[in-house]
Structures are given as C-alpha cells and as structure tokens.
Structure 1
Amino acid sequence: MYEQFKLRAEGVGAEVHRFRTRGDALGFILTFLQQEGTADAPQSYAVWANGPFLTGIDTAQLSGKVPGLSFNVSRQTAADSRIGISEAGWALTDTGSLVADQTAVEQRLAATLPVIHITLIGTDRILPDKTAVFSRITPETSRYIAFITGPSRTADIERVLTIGVHGPKRLVIVFIDELDGVAE
C-alpha cells in the first residue's frame, strides 16, 4: 500500500520518504532542517509538536544541534517558523491524504502556520480509504480530525491555482517502519 500512497501523494504535490528506523528518519529531518536554513531568527525557526516519535529522544540535545529548533509550540512560535513538524495518525491510499487527530492545538499550529510542514507516520498506519479510517475514529476520542492532501492550494482568486495561501506551501511526509504499532 505504501507505493500506491506515495504515487497518489506525489501526484498532489507532496514529497514522500520512507525510513526503516527512527534514527534514519531523525537524521533525514536534521539534515533537512539545516539545508532549509533553520536558524535562531524569525521566519527561520522550526517547531516540532510532541508525539510518539519523540518518546525517549533528548529534545534539549536536538535543539542544541539545530539553532532555531523549538519543541515549545505556541501560536507565535509557529507563526514565526519556516518549518513545522507534527505527526499523522493514518495515510489513505485512495487519495494520498493524511489523517491527523489535531485535538492538541500544538499539532494544528505546527501543521498549518509554517511554510513547510513535515509530518511523521508509522508505515503500518496506511489504510485503503476513508471507510477504513472512519471505523477507527470516534467523536469521543478524536475531536479535531484534519485531512491533509498535498500542500495548501486554492483557485478561488480569479481561478488561478495558488499554492500556500491557506497553509504550508510544501508537505514532506516521512514514513518510519520502526514506528509500527506505536501510535493509535
């Protein structure tokens, strides 16, 4: 299902990567942050919302490796950030969409305010379609569900397609095999 998801997601403008371990994925993310110019200056910050991926990782040490990387996500830090990192609960092969429980405001802020959104997900979280995901979520446990399909886009301005008006201009999806079974 991964290959089908990747094909659909790339078809709507997302970038899709897959790593075997958290360490490999973390190395990719740190390199990506450095290549994108993450720095301790407004519009160059990166914010990382807490989630299962970070379990057991020394976030203070990571912040020291990448100036401008913060794990304290607020409206202001997210708005001043170039990159936001969050986690998704599921990926849908039929549309190339991510499904994220964004009940925690930090997840929403990291996913919507920065110019670039990196989302992390376990490879085992790929589902065939919306029917499959709707059998796993309930209003009692999931109060704010977001469906993310590619970078933000609109064509409501004189019918001209514009990328990044209502959210990130770039969506980078990082699948991690080792996260299998971690998130639910």
Structure 2
Amino acid sequence: MSEKLVNEFIQKAEAAAAKVTRVKTLDEAYREVLNIIHEAQVHEVGCVATDMTQGLFPLLKEQGIKAIAEGAPRDLARLEIGIVPVDVGIAETGTVAHDATDLYSRYFSMLCPVNIVMLRTSRIKENMTEALKLLENSGIYPAYMAFITGPSRTADIERVLTIGVHGPGRLHIILVDEGE
C-alpha cells in the first residue's frame, strides 16, 4: 500500500463530495457503518454478503437492524442505506469500482439514497489501467462493472446541478488498512 496513493484517493474522493473515513481494522469499519446507520435512524439496510461484511451481520442484528442481502426489487427500493464492499479504488479520480454482476450488489450501490462502500487500502491503484490489471490478476471478469465517483449528480434539467437523482445522494467510503 502506498500512502501517496491513499492520500490522493482520499483527496479526489472528497473533492467529488464523498465522505471518506480511514480505519485500521474491519472491526473499526463495522463500528463506522453502525455510526452512519444510527445517524440516519434507519432499522433496515441492504448489505452485500461477502467475506468483508460477514462480521457485520451479527452486529447489525445485535443492534436491532435488519440486514437484507436479497429480495424482490420492489422491496429493496424502500431501503435507505446500501452497504457494498468494492473491489478496487482509483487514486487519480477518487473512484471506487466493484463487480456488480450480482443483482443485489448493483441494487445496493445504485438504488439506496445512502451508499456505504468498504475498500481495503491495499486495493487502491494509481489509475484505471492499474485497477483493471488488479482485477484481471485477481480473476475478476465481471459482466457488469460499477464505477462510482462521489454521489450521483446530474445537470440535465436546465443545467442545474442536482444530487441523488440517478443514484445515491450520499456516498460514504470506509477505507480499511487491515490486509486481505
């Protein structure tokens, strides 16, 4: 992990209106996720089940928060927060990217007004070329890849910038230093 790349990533992501928090361990990341959920005062969240989030599910349950990992699209559309581990970060633009071939991974990163992503700092690369090499070397060949740079924004209605129209209005990126 290069501190220079991590700092550049944080700077670029924050410039794109993402809120970035850096933690040392997954346990700290889980506490940060719980803080965001409590701040939003929600009791149901969408959460992609992976090795990175497996320890989060019991904590959510313990806090009385229902974690939904799958379901019908009409039921998922009501969720306020989606939690998605991402595969790679791109320092040059402050972008995160993940294999969104799985429908629920796509839903939770695109439909929920608040998107919480978790990224290991060791997976931050300098640019798109390096990010794609990392994915290829990891054996990830997605049919659908999502690239996220800050909250959703558009200015296609009378050139007035509007946040959250075509996706999440808030993006929280939790960087985890703990190794893979």
TM-score scaled by length of structure 1: 0.87
Unpaired segments of 5 or more residues in structure 2?
A: none
The residue matched to 1:135 in structure 2 has which SS? helix
**How has the CA–CA distance of structure 1 residues 160 and 140 changed in structure 2, closer, same or farther, with 3 Å as cutoff?**
same
Instruction: Indicate if the aligned counterparts of 1:99 and 1:147 stay in contact, CA closer than 8 A.
Output: yes
Instruction: Name the counterpart of 1:35.
Output: 39
TM-superposed CA distance for 1:71, in Å, is 3.0
Tell me the SS of whatever aligns to 1:10.
Answer: helix
Look up the match of 1:135: 133
1:7-86 paired onto structure 2 within 5 Å: 7-39=11-43, 45-55=44-54, 57=55, 59-60=57-58, 62-67=60-65, 69-74=66-71, 75-86=73-84
What is aligned with 1:42?
Answer: none
For residues 172 and 56 of structure 2, the distance between their equivalents in structure 1, rounded to whole angstroms, comes to 23
Describe the superposition over 1:126-177 as per-residue Cα deviations: whole angstroms up to 9, x where unpaired. Answer: 0000111222345972211111010000011011110000000000000111
**Take 1:53 and 1:140, find their aligned partners in 2: how far apart are those partners?**
16
| TM-score (normalised: structure 2) | 0.89
Aligned residue identity for 1:19:
V
Partner SS state of residue 112, structure 2:
coil
Amino acid at match of 1:123: T
Q: CA RMSD in A?
A: 1.8
Partner letter of residue 142 of structure 2?
Answer: S
Aligned residues with identical type, % of pairs: 31
Q: Deviations over 1:52-105 (max 9, x none)?
A: 2124x27245224133x3233332343111111001101101011011111111
CA distance in 2, matches of 1:58, 1:158: 42
- 1:99–1:146 CA contact under 8 A, matched in 2: yes
* Match of residue 6 from structure 2: 2
1:58 and 1:91 map into 2 onto residues whose CA distance is 22
Equivalent residue for 1:112, pick from 90, 110, 113: 110
